[in-house]
């Protein structure tokens, strides 16, 4: 693992970043907060913060707080409940993304009596990935593959499946919820299994493993999806190898993760034979999503995203949150979506130091550049994409996925944008799953997708 000096974390003024361990006072430069390639955004961010340097102390982000590494602390420094030994990362994580660290048989994945084990090979897997800064991390997942011979053309395809919002606590991890029979995604990926595909479901960074889950962080989520495809090629499934074709799929948080993976695949995992991506209701632009759900039934999602972004970018929560907001963080980190009402109808303005909602803070530097860094749609995917959205989505505004499709179309991507008339965010999930099966059937059979760019 690279040292922070090797990552460019030397001296400088970076007042919005502070360690949760206040004994550390080593300064951290502005340039380390965002990828070096975004030099223009970095310059703007530097200028906007220049006036603050004289009055705000600089401190280093704690390198031991990287989610998915051994002993990582949480954003709030709250100890996490004991986790099964399988989910504890090794002290040294392989530097090659997609390396299988360990695997074991997964029980009760599809039914409580485990009768499905007669028809499916289900395994829990820990594999190596990288966070948004390129640091090696351990991520866990479940891989499920039919035992019946594949009857389609070529090799049995892999669907690297990104789950929708699970929550922030380790117990929310899809691989753990599948065992507990509380994982709702089973409803949506079962048809992919029935069609003979191998389905691999990632837990993402810090979900199941130590540290705060980096919810809504574009690169971390995209890497986790792509590296799971790599790892699935290497777990030893019969007839599966590094030439096995891959599909990427997800809805909501998973739609964002799949979309991020689609546009990162060409540079991050160019060896993968990605045939296509289904991005259902992708939160490609976080600012309008934050504005829509603030104070709503789904206000927990905004709290998750704030904690996830602060964790990934080493932001000191007390810079923006008041005492009530900071005190709420442990509850956010320990929440699962099945307990959504515990964090429902909370207005972020009651949690911020200046009394403004978080969506307003996200429009000003330095958080504006942080949100911009997680905008999806700036890079052309290297394979066909299906983007869906309900016309009356009450979580991800319809305009957000539609704009993503337009952005990709403007870059020459092969995109089909599918509006869904079924109301609400939840209502759009089942039609998306149906569209996904048809989409992948066509892609894996070598059919060409005719884009509908310009029709919406």
Span 113-153, pLDDT tens digits: 888 889 999 999 999 999 999 999 999 999 999 999 999 99
pLDDT tens series, the chain, 456 aa: 333 333 333 323 333 333 333 333 232 322 333 343 333 333 333 333 333 333 232 233 455 589 999 999 999 999 999 999 999 999 999 999 999 999 999 988 888 888 888 999 999 999 999 999 999 999 999 999 999 999 999 999 999 999 999 999 999 999 999 999 999 999 999 999 999 999 999 999 999 999 999 999 999 999 999 999 999 999 999 999 999 999 999 999 999 999 999 999 999 999 999 999 999 999 999 999 999 999 999 999 999 999 999 999 999 999 999 999 999 999 999 999 999 999 999 999 999 999 999 999 888 898 999 999 999 999 999 999 999 999 999 999 999 999 999 999 999 999 999 999 999 999 999 999 999 999 999 999 999 999 999 899
Q: What residues does 103 pair with on adjacent strands?
A: 125
At 72-105, the pLDDT tens digits run 999 999 999 999 999 999 999 999 999 999 999 9
Task: Check if the beta carbon of residue 205 is closer than 8 Å to that of residue 67.
Answer: yes
Which distant-in-sequence residues (6+ apart) come within 8 Å of 369 by Cβ? 33, 34, 38, 41, 42, 44, 45
Q: At what angle do helices 429-444 and 186-194 cross, to 10 degrees?
A: 20
Q: Which pair of tokens denotes residue 445?
A: 């059979």
pLDDT of residue 290: 96
Task: Check if the beta carbon of residue 201 is closer than 8 Å to that of residue 166.
Answer: no
For CA atoms 281, 287, 288, 293, the dihedral sign is positive
pLDDT of residue 135: 97
- Taking the alpha carbons at both ends of the chain, their separation in whole angstroms is 46
pLDDT of residue 62: 56
Q: Which pair of tokens denotes residue 456?
A: 């919406």
| Domain range annotation of the chain | 85-286+373-444, 287-372
| Phi, psi at 138, each rounded to 5° | -105, 135
- How many residues are listed for the chain in this entry? 456
Question: Which architecture characterizes domain 287-372 according to CATH?
Answer: Orthogonal Bundle (1.10)
CATH class of segment(s) 85-286+373-444: alpha beta
d(CA 278, CA 262): 9
Assessment of whether the complete model's pTM goes beyond 0.85: yes
d(CA 58, CA 16): 8
Taking 3-state DSSP, the helix, strand and coil percentages for the chain, each rounded to the nearest 5, stand at 35, 15, 50
């Amino acid at each position: 693992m690279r040292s922070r000096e090797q990552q460019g974390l030397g001296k400088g003024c970076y007042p919005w970043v502070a360690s949760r361990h206040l004994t550390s006072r080593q300064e951290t430069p502005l340039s380390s907060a965002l990828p070096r390639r975004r030099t223009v955004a970095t310059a703007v961010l530097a200028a906007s913060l220049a006036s603050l340097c004289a009055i705000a102390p600089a401190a280093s982000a704690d390198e031991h707080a990287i989610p998915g590494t051994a002993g990582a602390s949480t954003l709030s420094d709250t100890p996490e409940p004991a986790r099964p030994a399988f989910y504890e990362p090794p002290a040294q994580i392989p530097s090659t993304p997609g390396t299988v660290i360990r695997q074991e048989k997964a029980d009760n994945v599809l039914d409580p009596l485990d009768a499905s084990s007669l028809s499916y090979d289900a395994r829990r897997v820990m594999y190596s990935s990288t966070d948004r800064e390129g640091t090696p991390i351990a991520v866990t997942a479940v891989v499920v593959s039919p035992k019946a011979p594949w009857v389609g053309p070529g090799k049995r395809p892999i669907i690297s499946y990104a789950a929708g919002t699970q929550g922030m606590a380790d117990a929310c991890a899809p691989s753990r919820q599948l065992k507990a029979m509380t994982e709702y995604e089973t409803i949506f990926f079962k048809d992919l299994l029935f069609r003979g595909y191998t389905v691999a479901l990632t837990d993402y960074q810090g979900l199941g493993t130590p540290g705060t889950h980096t919810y809504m962080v574009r690169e971390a989520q995209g890497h986790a999806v792509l590296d799971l495809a790599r790892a699935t090629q290497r777990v030893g499934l019969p007839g599966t190898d590094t030439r096995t074709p891959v599909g990427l799929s997800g809805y909501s948080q998973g739609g964002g993760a799949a979309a991020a993976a689609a546009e990162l695949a060409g540079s991050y995992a160019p060896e993968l034979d990605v045939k296509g991506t289904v991005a259902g209701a992708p939160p490609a632009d976080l600012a309008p999503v934050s504005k829509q759900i603030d104070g709503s039934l789904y206000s927990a999602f905004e709290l998750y995203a704030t904690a996830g972004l602060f964790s990934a970018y080493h932001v000191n929560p007390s810079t923006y949150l008041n005492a009530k907001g900071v005190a709420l963080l442990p509850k956010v980190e320990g929440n699962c979506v099945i307990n959504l009402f515990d964090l429902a109808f909370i207005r972020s303005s009651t949690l911020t130091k200046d009394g403004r909602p978080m969506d307003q803070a996200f429009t000003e530097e330095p958080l504006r550049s942080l949100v911009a860094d997680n905008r999806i749609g700036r890079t052309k995917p290297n394979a066909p994409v299906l983007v869906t959205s309900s016309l009356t989505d009450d979580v991800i505004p319809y305009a957000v996925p539609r704009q993503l499709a337009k952005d990709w179309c403007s870059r020459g991507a092969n995109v089909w944008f599918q509006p869904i008339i079924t109301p609400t965010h939840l209502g759009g999930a089942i039609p998306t799953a149906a569209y996904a099966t048809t989409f992948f059937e066509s892609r894996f059979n070598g059919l060409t997708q005719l884009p509908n760019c310009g029709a919406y």
